[in-house]
Amino acid sequence: MESEISIAIVCLLGSFATFFSGFGLGTILLPVFSLYFPLELAVLATALVHFANNIFKMSLMSKHLDFSLFKQFGIPALIGAVLGASLLTWVGHAGIFYTSPIWEGKDISYLSFFIGVLMLIFVVFEWKSIRFPFSHSRYFLPLGGLLSGFFGGFSGHQGALRSAFLSKVTIDKQLFVATSVLISLCIDVSRISIYSSTTDWKQLNLTYLILGAISAFIGSILGKRYLNKVSYGFVKWMVAVFLSGMSVLILLGGI
């Protein structure tokens, strides 16, 4: 029962906080699901909840879409997602990378290592609010889409890069959120189709997925309601601390 409660709380708060942030819901959910599933399954479980929540968010924000921006950023993101997800399936079968010096010498796979390192990198990336100096130009949007899609496909870390490229191009917050959701939704479709081809779906806990999706829906409703009223500084700090701790646990074999 404790695991169900923790998943529900994290999904609700994560969906609410990330409705208007660079951090993505998947970035927060991945380390949480890794507590209950092997990391390969945790990536798929995160993608499924992320996908369901994006569909729901799309129903809330669809009238604010900028299809011109989507074509420039979203189509390259789809290509990048396929490449990233394909690489993930390969790394997932690469075996053991090293043995942890603690936790009884637990073996750390290549996948765990890369996921843990990427989590740390993107915490710093978002915490420092890194914005590329050329990101204000639409000429670089395809590159941003490709990079965002690639890391979204590989580890689910797409939000920070997407924000870095889109934040200076889109001014209206509603437009930014709606177009980002559509791009993210397309990336989810691409990566789930690849993950599922090498995953035993019977190992997934359906209760966790449904509970996570419903909680994320509620968080999205609250996020839309308070979209123009929330100051994200404190929440951003809390998320950064949480993700840093979880990434260190993954690298040391605690997860």
pLDDT tens-digit readout, 70-105: 888 888 999 999 999 899 888 888 888 888 887 677
Burial of 165 (0-12, 13-18, 19+ CB in 10 A): buried
Into how many domains does the chain fold? 1
In whole angstroms, what is the distance from residue 113 CA to residue 98 CA?
Answer: 9
Q: Hunting for tokens 């969906």 — which residue is that? A: 15
**Residue 13 has what pLDDT?**
74
- What b-and-e string marks burial along 184-212, b requiring 16 or more CB atoms within 10 Å of the CB? bbbbbebbbebbeeebeeeebbeebbebb
**Residue 126 has what pLDDT?**
66
Range of the domain at 233: 2-252
Structure tokens at 254: 């605690």
Q: What pTM did the predictor assign?
A: 0.76
pLDDT tens, the chain, 255 aa long: 667 787 787 777 777 766 655 556 777 778 778 778 887 788 888 888 888 888 888 887 777 777 887 888 888 999 999 999 899 888 888 888 888 887 677 888 888 888 888 888 877 776 666 665 655 566 778 888 898 889 888 887 777 677 767 766 655 667 777 888 888 888 888 888 888 777 777 777 788 888 888 888 888 787 767 765 655 566 667 667 777 887 888 888 876
Contact call for residues 244 and 121 (beta carbons, < 8 A)? no
DSSP-assigned letters across all residues of 113-130:
HHHHHHHHHHHHHHHTT-
| Main-chain phi, psi angles of 253, to 5 degrees | 90, 10
